[in-house]
Amino acid sequence: MKTRRVTAAVASVLALSLGAAACGGGGGNNSSGGGNAKKDAALTSIVNASSKKGGTVNLEESDVPDSLDPGNTYYGFVQNFSRLYARTLTTFKPAAGKAGLTVVPDLADSLGKASADAKTWTYHLRSGLKYQDGTPITSKDVKYAIERSNFAPEALSNGPTYFKQYLVGGDKYQGPYKDKSATGLKSIETPDDQTIVFKLNQPFADFDYLATFSQTAPVPQAKDDGAKYVQHIVSSGPYQFQSYEEGASAVLVRNKNWDPKTDPIRKAYPDKISVKFKVNAVTVDNDLLADKITADLAGTGVQPQTQPKVLTGKNAKSTDNSYAGALQYLALNVNVKPFDNVNCRKAVQYAVNKQSVLDAVGGSPKGDVASTLLPPNVNGYTKFDTYPTAGNKGDVAKAKAALKACGQPNGFSTTMTARSDRPAEVAAATAVQNSLKAVGIKVDIKQFPSGKYFSNFAGVPSYVHDHKLGILSMAWGSDWPTGYGFLEQIVDGGAIKPSGGTNLMELNDPAINKALATAIANTDAAARTKAWGDIDKMVMDNASVVPLFYRKNLLYRPASATNVTVTQAYLGMYDYLLLSSSK
């Protein structure tokens, strides 16, 4: 997920979609449990606004995050949540509606200063920044954080590697655990403790959006011990870890050395934030309905079983049906037989009954049937359908013709993955299984925990090949809402990694790779926008991605939740930097 870039065009599209979904309400003394609050109020306003300090925000999550280490995560909810204890060079403004898409300075005292060719970016840190132990935060700590997060896959493999791709010499640098030199990566310069300069190998006008990633949160090198750093993260934000139990829980309390004078965007109203992991997804929903917790940390909405309870009656006005700017899809791995044959991939394209998949996860409140990679609210979206079927219900005749063309007229057997702690994804996989069975494709569904899905299983090519995982369940939201921010990490060959990868198709098409690189270097915004739609069509022609539905979240806000608003910057979940509680 991820953080996202916002252009004027994208902001306009999002504003229209938010406005169409909202029914008013919010602000003032609105309460999600009554008063003036209405359904979808948190899409455009702050519901149950309060400036009262105190209380505990209680969160639950159905599995475990990939990591709470800001330098070792790629889940959107962790990017959102980590802003409580990890400040970055820039971040998204905590605000309602389209204002929440604005990138603002965080550790930095202003947005980046770019050279004329957009290949050099300079930031200056605010004065008086301190860690939880009172020691100063310096530009060298930001440099080190980027080095460890992007250049040390042997220890930290979960996050994206944009910095590695775009910094001069990034392809040669071995990372701080192997490179013991005092200079580190030379293309990140720190001429003094307040200044950091990035030297890029090509123009990159989106750099302020890249600087919102949690990977720019400072890490003191003396306190870092690689993958174990998650056990004792050093806070730069208003909260620090009181406790952390791997796979079970985390508790954040106030950081006494956080100075609000250096942080104009965080209000830090709660006294404590408590998180429980590995809670059954339906139990999470029930705890929300019983007002035992403030929010579901994953932020993807209630489960299909819970949906009827919140769509009618008094609970309906406490829901927010937000667009996630994300796609649920099937990745067909081109290095697992028979999906090395494009016609076998096309057989799946035609066979899948997408409407049945959407119905299985809860119908229209969960999204709209998809035919493209780019969701409609991402810059570059072009409406087209390369594999149309009547009513989106599949076409058996076309599927069988494709099977014949790929030399498998009687079908074949394959294995499909799904995340075990996500009932909706398992339900979607079952619907896909039933669709494919009708054309002779037999699917065995294997389930894996979401916390290790990319680092140990679906994102590890060697595991995928050894276990012949041909179809992989996947959901993706853009790192920033342009075609590049959405596409690059899932279709570029450079995004294939030994572990923690997100290009689950292992797509490494030279023409697609070149088109992406050419487009992001183009300073003509209109040309870039057109290029994203063209690349989307190239990927669909390759047939390795089966778009299922453009995702929506059906969120529920209990009565005790205050300062509740949806952030489109973080996949349409609630903004955890604002969220507080009356309890």
Measuring CA to CA, which residue among 419, 507, 509 is closest to residue 455? 419
Supply the mean pLDDT for the chain.
92
Model pLDDT, residue 101:
85
Phi-psi region of 286 (alpha: psi -120 to 50; beta: other; left: phi over 0): alpha
- Specify which residues 113 forms β-bridges with: 122
How far is residue 512's CA from residue 517's CA, in Å, rounded to a whole number?
9
Q: Which two tokens stand for residue 59?
A: 């969160």
pLDDT digits over 225-245, tens only? 999 999 999 999 999 999 999
Check whether 53 has a pLDDT greater than 50. Answer: yes
Model pLDDT, residue 258:
98
Average pLDDT score over residue span 413-440: 96
How far is residue 380's CA from residue 10's CA, in Å, rounded to a whole number?
9
Check whether 80 has a pLDDT greater than 90. Answer: yes
For the chain, give every domain's residue range. 64-239, 322-553
- 268-297 burial code (b ≥16 CB/10 A, e <16): bbbbbbbbbbebebeebbbbbbebebbbbb
Per-residue confidence at 13, pLDDT binned at 50, 70, 90? very low
Q: Which has the minimum average pLDDT: 353-357, 445-449, 483-487?
A: 483-487
Sheet with 413-419, edge to edge strand ranges: 367-369, 545-556, 319-332, 469-477, 413-419, 442-448
Residues 6+ apart with CB under 8 A from 34: 559
Measuring CA to CA, which residue among 383, 328, 394 is closest to residue 356? 394
Alpha-helical segments (H) within 22-138: 76-81
Q: Which two tokens stand for residue 269?
A: 């109203």
Average pLDDT score over residue span 392-421: 97
Average pLDDT score over residue span 41-59: 97
Query: Are 248 and 278 in contact, with CB atoms under 8 Å apart?
Result: yes
Amino acid at 28: G
Query: Are 66 and 72 in contact, with CB atoms under 8 Å apart?
Result: yes
How far is residue 563's CA from residue 579's CA, in Å, rounded to a whole number?
5
Q: What is the DSSP letter of 112?
A: P
Measuring CA to CA, which residue among 303, 253, 245 is closest to residue 64? 245
Check whether 316 has a pLDDT greater than 50. Answer: yes
Q: What is the DSSP string of 292-348?
A: SSSEETT-S---TTTHHHHHSGGGGGGEEEEEEEEEEEEEE-TTSTTTTSHHHHHHH
Task: Identify the H or E element spanning 18.
Answer: helix 8-21
Task: Identify the H or E element spanning 114.
Answer: strand 113-114
Q: Which two tokens stand for residue 147?
A: 């080095």
Query: Are 325 and 379 in contact, with CB atoms under 8 Å apart?
Result: no
Check whether 19 has a pLDDT greater than 50. Answer: no
Q: Which has the minimum average pLDDT: 32-36, 265-269, 289-293, 295-299?
A: 32-36
Please report, for residues 68, 116, 170, 424, 520, the alpha-carbon distance to residue 207 in angstroms, rounded to integers and kept in the order given: 24, 14, 16, 35, 12
Name the phi and psi angles at 287, rounded to 5: -70, -35
Query: Are 272 and 56 in contact, with CB atoms under 8 Å apart?
Result: yes
Sheet strands (E) in 449-567: 469-477, 545-556, 561-562, 566-567
Amino acid at 90: T
Cis bond leading into 338, ω under 30°?
yes
Residue 463: Cβ-neighbour burial (10 angstroms; 0-12, 13-18, 19+): middle
Q: Which has the minimum average pLDDT: 24-28, 92-96, 161-165, 218-222?
A: 24-28
How far is residue 164's CA from residue 152's CA, in Å, rounded to a whole number?
10
Check whether 6 has a pLDDT greater than 80. Answer: no
Give the CATH number of domain 64-239. Answer: 3.40.190.10
Q: What is the DSSP string of 410-475?
A: T--EEEEEEETT-HHHHHHHHHHHHHHHTTT-EEEEEEE-GGGIIIIITT-HHHHHHTTEEEEEEE
pLDDT digits over 330-348, tens only? 999 999 999 999 999 999 9
How far is residue 564's CA from residue 30's CA, in Å, rounded to a whole number?
10
Check whether 302 has a pLDDT greater than 50. Answer: yes
Measuring CA to CA, which residue among 254, 277, 237 is closest to residue 62? 277
Model pLDDT, residue 484:
87
Model pLDDT, residue 103:
92
Q: Which two tokens stand for residue 20?
A: 């169409």
User: Residue 260, Cβ neighbours under 10 Å: how many?
Assistant: 11
CA 436, distance to chain mean position in Å, is: 29
Average pLDDT score over residue span 450-461: 95
Model pLDDT, residue 1:
42
Average pLDDT score over residue span 492-517: 95
Check whether 30 has a pLDDT greater than 50. Answer: no
Half-sphere exposure (Cβ direction) of 439: Cα atoms closer than 13 Å: 27
Average pLDDT score over residue span 218-225: 97
pLDDT digits over 128-139, tens only? 999 999 999 999
Query: Scanning the structure block, which residue is given the tokens 């209990």?
Result: 558
Q: What is the DSSP string of 361-427?
A: HTSGGGEEE-SSSS-TTSBT-----SS--GGGS--HHHHHHHHHHTT-TT--EEEEEEETT-HHHHH
Check whether 29 has a pLDDT greater than 50. Answer: no
- Specify which residues 300 forms β-bridges with: none
Query: Are 18 and 45 in contact, with CB atoms under 8 Å apart?
Result: no
Per-residue confidence at 36, pLDDT binned at 50, 70, 90? low
Check whether 322 has a pLDDT greater than 90. Answer: yes
How far is residue 202's CA from residue 483's CA, in Å, rounded to a whole number?
18
CA 429, distance to chain mean position in Å, is: 21
pTM: 0.81
Check whether 250 has a pLDDT greater than 50. Answer: yes
Computed on alpha carbons and rounded to an integer, the radius of gyration of the chain in Å comes to 23
How far is residue 571's CA from residue 547's CA, in Å, rounded to a whole number?
18
Give the total residue count for the chain: 583
Domain 322-553 has CATH 3.10.105.10: yes
pLDDT digits over 173-219, tens only? 999 999 989 999 999 999 999 999 999 998 887 899 899 999 999 99
Q: Which residue has the higher pLDDT, 479 or 88?
A: 88
User: SS3 for 186?
Assistant: coil
pLDDT digits over 97-142, tens only? 989 989 999 999 999 999 988 899 999 999 999 999 999 999 999 9
